[in-house]
Amino acid sequence: MSPFEPGGQHQSNWNVKLQNLEKWLKTNGDFTLSDRVILQDTQKSGRGLYLKTGKISRNEVLMTIPSECQLNFHTAVYHISQFNPKLSFDGVTCQDSTIAPSDEVDPRFQMYEILSNELVHSLSSFQLLCVYILFEWKILPHWNTAQSFWKPFFDVFPTLNELEAIPALWMLGTEETNQPLFECLPMASRVHAERIAAQVRNDWSVIEPIVKQWCNAFEDSNVSLTLATLYMHFLHIYFVVNSRCLYIQIPLKDSIHDNFTLVPYVDFLNHNADSEIYCSPQINRMKKGKYGLGAFSIVGGSHQYSQPGEEILLSYGAHSNDFLLNEYGFVLAENKWNYIDVSAHCESIIKELPIQDFLRKHDFWGEYTISGSDISYRLLVAIAAKVCPDLKKVEKFMLGYLTEASFDPAMKILLKSFMLDLAQQIKARIETIKKMANVDQLCANNILNIYQGYQMILQRHMAEMT
Ligand SMILES: C[S@@+](CC[C@H](N)C(=O)[O-])C[C@H]1O[C@@H](n2cnc3c(N)ncnc32)[C@H](O)[C@@H]1O
């Protein structure tokens, strides 16, 4: 039976998990959820929220999630301090009265001892959350003697399989099926995936010593978990966090990259590219709870929901399909934020070293893009430099004293052949992908979708040029 078939075992397990999640949210603060929405699971976008009945208007609060049930640097520090009284962060860690009574069968008293103030302070939000979730979700259940506060939340996290469309995982994991697809990724996606993979490897190298110490400590118990297994769990957790985190200010941290929180239920909302019209998040700092950062609400946007079955959407930001694929593992059939990174192609046609030096000197070398509405100014300058031997004239164009028309017809001719070349390369890539056997079809289709988005962009510009 397909996991999506209504009435299947998967469905009834899921209903129980959802009830547990709602019960947990109600017990731990002021949780509200509009009775006009319903959670549903689809093949295309997994779980999501849909309108059940009635209407949802602008500024109407759809749900509020108490700060106590959000997982972020603050709440992780608070919970760790319940087992490690030496951990002390002003206004965040436990007061004496809330420190858990020492219990020999709860391994966290021993395992969290190594999480000193200095060490916790040095970790990024990502690193702390990964190491904390790793213990609470993947390691603690091996003892059978204690349960994590966060269990109802962990139980509704996506599985590693559900995240397999994320290209960085093809590089980092041991699953080899999709590795051939990596070579077919557009340049923007490949660079993005490599950047994420480097970040993941770096974060693992920071938390690995903690995990190794835990592994050594397991030797005294009956728990048998290898470092290799824990690394795979870490990867799973990393991408759960990455694909579900929401912006919030974290007063204990300085870097923008640390400013995020995981918010149960809000993380069921799927993305739409129209940021202005759909729902948006609001943080109520007046409702901070005992160690949190503020209750998290979702409110309606200018689009009025009135059709039962309409999906309640949130914008994750102005992201192209290359970005969405790499950060979240999906693409949109139509995406107004798509653009093509044509840097490699443009650099390959400018072979003349003096032109390269000229563009470098003026900081115009590389980062060339074409979107549906624009050919980037950087690209126009590079093409102008290629077609015009008078670099003084190109400098005037750079400074805005001349328009691109001053370089016609050579500029138009080169741009047209540049785009035709690109279109041919894209067509060839599409054909290669279509012929690939033994790769996950969903992942292959995502990449095809990106290239088809590129084709639409090029067609639009080429039509304007004729
Ligand atoms: C914050 S979660 C949303 C809930 C998710 N659908 C689930 O089943 O748990 C983000 C993930 O949802 C999926 N997603 C979000 N928006 C989507 C969309 N428009 N189309 C397809 N998948 C989408 C992607 O897998 C993404 O990583």
Mean pLDDT within 431-456: 95
Instruction: Tell me, in angstroms, the distance from the centre of ligand 1 to residue 321's CA.
Output: 13
Q: Per the domain annotation, does 333 fall within a domain?
A: no
pLDDT in the model for residue 265 = 96
The ligand 1 atom at the shortest distance from the C-alpha of residue 41 is: 8
pLDDT in the model for residue 103 = 66
pLDDT in the model for residue 97 = 60
Of 218, 234, 261, the one marking the end of a domain is 261
pLDDT tens per residue, range 370-379 = 999 999 999 9
Q: Per the domain annotation, does 1 fall within a domain?
A: no
Asked whether 394 and 411 are in contact (CB, 8 A), the reply is no
The closest residue, in CA terms, to atom 23 on ligand 1 is 45
- 297 shares a domain with 165: no
Q: CB neighbours (10 Å) of residue 107?
A: 22
pLDDT in the model for residue 12 = 79
- 436 shares a domain with 349: yes
- 376 shares a domain with 315: no
- 142 shares a domain with 124: yes
Runs of H (alpha helix) within 82-226: 108-111, 117-122, 125-133, 151-154, 167-172, 179-182, 187-218
pLDDT averaged over every residue in the chain: 92
Above 0.90 for ipTM, yes or no?
A: yes
105 or 175: which leads in pLDDT: 105
- 232 shares a domain with 125: yes
The SS3 assignment for 125 reads helix
pLDDT tens per residue, range 101-126 = 666 689 999 999 999 999 999 999 99
Phi, psi of 41, deg, nearest 5: -115, 125
Q: Is the pLDDT of residue 306 over 80?
A: yes
- 452 shares a domain with 391: yes
In angstroms and rounded to an integer, the radius of gyration of the C-alpha atoms of the chain is: 26
Q: Per the domain annotation, does 245 fall within a domain?
A: yes
Instruction: Tell me, in angstroms, the distance from the centre of ligand 1 to residue 129's CA.
Output: 21
The closest residue, in CA terms, to atom 20 on ligand 1 is 45
- 237 shares a domain with 225: yes
Q: Per the domain annotation, does 334 fall within a domain?
A: no
Mean pLDDT within 325-351: 96
- 285 shares a domain with 154: no
- 362 shares a domain with 292: no
The closest residue, in CA terms, to atom 27 on ligand 1 is 328
> Candidates 274, 316, 330: which one to mutate for ligand 1, based on the most atoms within 8 Å of Cβ?
330
Phi, psi of 408, deg, nearest 5: -80, 155
Q: Is the pLDDT of residue 3 over 60?
A: no
pLDDT in the model for residue 2 = 37
Q: How many domains does the chain have?
A: 3
The domain that holds 301 is classified in CATH as 2.170.270.10
- 302 shares a domain with 402: no
pLDDT tens per residue, range 50-108 = 999 999 989 999 999 999 999 999 999 999 999 998 998 888 888 766 666 666 689 99
The SS3 assignment for 41 reads strand
> Candidates 10, 44, 45: which one to mutate for ligand 1, based on the most atoms within 8 Å of Cβ?
45
Mean pLDDT within 266-273: 95
Q: Is the pLDDT of residue 460 over 80?
A: yes
In terms of residue numbers, what domain contains 306?
A: 9-69+263-328
Of 328, 356, 380, the one marking the end of a domain is 328
Provide DSSP, 303-333.
SPB-STTPEEEE---S--HHHHHHHHS---S
The SS3 assignment for 32 reads strand
Q: Per the domain annotation, does 4 fall within a domain?
A: no
Instruction: Tell me, in angstroms, the distance from the centre of ligand 1 to residue 162's CA.
Output: 10
Q: Per the domain annotation, does 207 fall within a domain?
A: yes
Mean pLDDT within 360-378: 96
Q: Per the domain annotation, does 205 fall within a domain?
A: yes
Q: Per the domain annotation, does 2 fall within a domain?
A: no
- Cα 202 to its chain centre, rounded Å, is 17
Predicted confidence band at 289 (pLDDT cuts at 50, 70, 90)? confident
Of 261, 281, 298, the one marking the end of a domain is 261
Cα-based torsion angle of the residue sequence 120, 122, 124, 130 in order, rounded to the nearest 10 degrees: -40
- 136 shares a domain with 17: no
N-to-C CA span, the chain: 54
pLDDT in the model for residue 99 = 64
Residues with CB under 6 A from ligand 1: 44-48, 158, 243-244, 267-271, 328-330, 332
- 109 shares a domain with 250: yes
Q: Is the pLDDT of residue 5 over 60?
A: no
Q: Is the pLDDT of residue 7 over 60?
A: no
